[in-house]
A = this chain, B = another copy of it.
Amino acid sequence: MFESAELGHRIDKETFRAEVPKLREALLDAQFDLREQGKFPVVILVSGVDGAGKGETINVLCEWMDPRFLSTRAFSAPSDEERERPAMWRFWRTLPPKGRIGIFSGSWYSDPIAGRIAGDLTKGSLDQRLDEINRFEAMLANEGALVLKFWFHLSRDGQKRRLDALEKDPRTAWRVTRESRARLKTYGKLQEAARHVLRVTNTPWAPWIVVEGTDDRYRSLTVGKVILDALQKRLADTRDQNYPVAPPIAPKGDSLDVLTALNLSLRLDRKMYETQLARWQGRLASLARHPKFGGRSLILAFEGFDAAGKGGGIRRVTAALDARQYQVVPVAAPTEEERAQPYLWRFWRHVPRNGRVAIFDRTWYGRVLVERVEGLCSEADWLRAYAEINDFEHELAGNGAILVKFWLHISDEEQLKRFRERENVAFKRFKITGEDWRNREKRGAYHAAVCDMVDRTSTGEAPWTLVEADDKCHARVKILRTICERLERALASDNPKKKRD
A258 to B123, CA, bound (A): 40
Minimum CB distance partner of A380 in chain B:
B242
Asked if A143 is at the interface (CB within 8 A of a chain B CB), the reply is yes
Q: Return chain B residues, CB-CB under 8 Å to A120.
A: none
Contact check, B500 vs A395: say whether CB atoms are below 8 A apart: no
Given A240-B243, A500-B128: A86 and B351 within 8 A (CB)? yes
Q: In the complex where A92-B345, A127-B124 touch, is A97 in contact with B340 (Cβ < 8 A)?
A: yes
Task: Assess whether A342 is in contact with B127, with CB atoms less than 8 Å apart.
Answer: no
Given the known interface contacts A125-B124, A378-B242, A500-B128, the answer about A38 and B340 at a Cβ–Cβ threshold of 8 Å is: yes
Query: Which of B85, B124, B136, B342 is the one whose CB lies under 8 Å from A124?
Result: B124
Interface with B: A57-65, A272-280, A381-389, A488-496, which one? A381-389
The residue of chain B having its C-beta at the shortest distance from the C-beta of A131 within the complex is B131
Minimum Cβ distance to chain B for residue A403 (Å): 12
Q: What is the chain B residue whose CB lies nearest that of A143?
A: B342
Q: Which residues of B contact A97 (CB under 8 A)?
A: 337, 340-341
Q: Which one of B81, B242, B354, B391 contacts A353 once the chains associate, using CB atoms below 8 Å?
A: B81
Which of B140, B354, B391 sits near A342, CB closer than 8 Å?
Answer: B140
Instruction: Chain B residues near A401: list those with CB within 8 A.
Output: 86
**Cβ 8 A contact of A242, one of B122, B337, B381:** B381
Q: What are the interface flags for A120-149 relative to B under an 8 Å C-beta threshold, 1 for contact and 0 otherwise?
A: 001111011001100110011011010000
- Tell me if A437 counts as interface (CB < 8 A to partner B): no
A396 to B85, CA, bound (A): 8
A351 to B353, CA, bound (A): 52
Docked complex Cα distance between A38 and B337 (Å): 12
Q: Count copies of this chain in the complex.
A: 2
Return the CB mask of A313-346 against B: 1 if under 8 Å, else 0.
0000000000000000000000001011111110
Q: Please name all residues of chain B whose beta carbon is closer than 8 Å to the beta carbon of A131 when the two chains form the complex.
A: 127, 131
Q: Please state if A86 and B124 are interface contacts (CB–CB under 8 Å).
A: no
A139-B388 in contact given A127-B124, A345-B95 (Cβ < 8 Å): yes
A398 at the interface (CB under 8 A from B): yes
Whether a CB of chain B sits under 8 angstroms from the CB of A399 is yes
Assess the A391–B351 pair: CB atoms within 8 A: no
A396: contacting residue among B86, B98, B139, B351, CB under 8 A: B86
Cα A396 to Cα B145 in complex, Å, equals: 23
User: A210-252 interface mask toward B, CB cutoff 8 Å, 1 = contact, 0 = none?
Assistant: 0000000000000000000000000000001011010000000
Interface digits, A69-99 against B, CB 8 Å rule (1 contact, 0 not)? 0000000000001001111110011010111
Query: Does any Cβ of B come within 8 Å of A16's Cβ?
Result: no
Which residues of chain B have C-beta atoms less than 8 A from A132's C-beta? 391, 395
Interface string of A346-358 (1 = CB under 8 A from B): 0011011110000
What distance in Å separates the Cβ of A91 from its nearest Cβ neighbour in chain B? 9
* C-alpha gap A245/B138 in the complex (Å): 14
CA gap between A500 and B128 in the complex, in Å: 10
Q: Is the CB of B342 within 8 A of A399?
A: no
**For the complex, what is the distance from the CA of A135 to the CA of B389, rounded to whole Å?**
11
Interface contact B86-A340, CB-CB below 8 Å: no
Chain B nearest CB, measured from A131 CB (Å): 5
Q: How far is the CA of A231 from the CA of B183 in the complex (A)?
A: 56
Whole-angstrom CA separation of A124 from B92 in the bound complex: 25
Shortest distance in angstroms between A259's beta carbon and chain B's nearest beta carbon?
29
**Further 19 A-B residue pairs, CB within 8 A, beyond A95-B345, A142-B384:** A84-B297, A84-B354, A86-B396, A86-B398, A92-B349, A93-B348, A95-B341, A95-B342, A98-B339, A122-B124, A124-B128, A127-B127, A128-B500, A132-B391, A139-B384, A139-B391, A142-B380, A242-B245, A242-B380
Which residues of A line the B interface, CB within 8 A?
Answer: 38, 41, 81, 84-89, 92-93, 95, 97-99, 122-125, 127-128, 131-132, 135-136, 139-140, 142-143, 145, 240, 242-243, 245, 297, 337, 339-345, 348-349, 351-354, 378, 380-381, 384, 387-388, 391, 395-396, 398-399, 401, 500
A-B contact pairs, 28 of them (CB 8 A): A41-B340, A81-B353, A84-B354, A85-B399, A86-B398, A86-B399, A88-B348, A92-B345, A92-B349, A93-B348, A95-B345, A97-B337, A98-B340, A99-B340, A124-B124, A128-B500, A135-B387, A136-B391, A139-B344, A139-B391, A142-B384, A143-B342, A143-B343, A145-B342, A242-B243, A242-B245, A242-B378, A242-B381
